[in-house]
A and B are shown apart, each in its own frame.
Chain A
Amino acid sequence: MYAYIIRRVLQMIPTILGVILLVFFLFNWVGGDPAYVLAGKISSAEQIANIRKQLGVDQPYYVQLWIFVKQVLTADFGASWSTNEAVSHILATRLGPSLTVLLPWLAISTLISIGLALAVAYVRGSLTDRAVMIVCTVGLSISILVYIIVFQYVFAYKLGWFPVQGWGDSLRENLFVYSSLPILILLVVSIAPDLRLFRTFVLDEINQDYVRTGRAKGLSENRIMWLHVLRNASIPIITQVMATLPGLLIGAFLVERFFSIPGIGREVILAVERSDFPVIKAITVYVAVATMVFNLLADLMYKAVDPRVQLK
């Protein structure tokens, strides 16, 4: 097991190098020269040269690339080019608001999707099953943008159940006042596709021989569904949930933007708009690392839920 983990960690190194190269060349190819933005409305060639020098973008590409590698190794990405705020501080302060919305959403969404998937799979082919699937198909055909605009208008503006936007100082206020509507929207958007997917996983299991055997032995339907079927369906479900987790690091930018939540998603958009390479670099690298770490965790969890799985 430990050998497997070490091997997987070592395999991350070439992946990270690939990410570094990709981000570096993409930014230098399409990102534009930040000096021209930072120089202001009226600037001379000397001032632009001075800014390029201070940012280090006048250095040869191999030097800039090496600086990038060192930043990854030390986890110190310097300061934002547009605000001079330390990138580490940006990430530390923006992660909290994003997680305040995304963690409850992910937990609730996963639980509801699994529960509903088991329920509709159990009554597969019935009117209820077909009705739920139709609703899911319609639901996932609608853009999140539409949900945001409609829900914000109806539930916040017209009915006044939630504030239109905002963010407070306490976790309690943020979680129960400002995050409620964004979480509701994310749930509506995510449950439909997850439910369809999880239902398929459950249906794959429900027709297996061990289910028939369990019933023949007189096990209750609840025990069959919640213990045996769910356990065997959990490997693809874990894969799906783990694949979602790195997304927590980049936030839900549309929701954050519409509801003025000071999260990472908004920061990513700002950084792109401002050609703020240090922020873009840091977030990209962290998301890449998180993706690999969560993939590894998913593999370890397979083993935990199904001892037959061999980690090689």
Chain B
Amino acid sequence: MEPLLEVQHLKKYFHTGYGTLHAVDDVSFRIPKGSTLGLVGESGCGKTTTGRSILRLIEPTSGEVIFKGRNVLRASPSELRALRAEMQIIFQDPYSSLNPRMTVSQIIGEPLLIHRRVAEKRELEQKVRELMEKVELSDRLYGAYPHELDGGRRQRIGIARALSLHPQFIVCDEPVSALDVSVQAQILNLLKDLQEELGLTYLFITHDMSVVKHMSDIIAVMYLGQIVEMAPAEALFKKQLHPYTKALISAIPLLEPGGWKDEGTLKGELSSPIDPPPGCRFAPRCPMVKPECTEKDPPLVESVSGRFSSCVRAKEMV
């Protein structure tokens, strides 16, 4: 199927006093229209930077982002403003992502004013109320301030704001990480319902393996700025073709007696993303490391039909 969004060789380097930090290092993927790509990885692996680079909230160092055939990274400021009506983002922290000086209705209505989608006050009010209904926010909260509401309701405001311009693509940047588990489920189901109803395409960023399993069609696993494995969600959970993915999935606690066995928990911590040496980024922690792993960056290749892995020993794991 024709992809709605295609990311090619996206790179974002930060120049620090200690060297060049490779936050996103040659990331490529495509998301078909109406589906969800789950981007997982541990803190600091570059998931968020990837999401923001696609929307140019952070200017990427190089690469291509093609959205509906248009190159986002080469868009002029006015083209970019127009594009942003079609590509939106839901933030992780529902506390800092809402302006504390604005009411719920002002926050949700602002995008409509920016893009001149409404002609008069009454139309604005009506549209804001429709959006609030869509994300199941009570009508009474129309004039409330964010600080009066709990995390779940605040996140609904963030979702309504992102939906207000009828985007086709939404970056969900850890939208439930800051919420209670019970509220997480509500928000995740809301996002799924909205996707079905409006035909949305998501890039779903999270560090929570069970959340990503619930939400995604395709899962991309990131480690130190690179995608190490990408596969359809179900296949990935059945069999992993990269030792890092294997470790991630074996770390999910299971709710049954004797269900969880220690199958080689990872030792050590994330190595430094500053001027990484050539070779597989995961090699220093890998239980299956071989001498050739540290020679050159292993490319992400199709090991089995529809499944991509960057591990040189992927074939052995099939």
Query: Do A and B interact?
Result: no
> Which residues of B does A touch, CB under 8 Å?
none
> Which residues of A does B touch, CB under 8 Å?
none
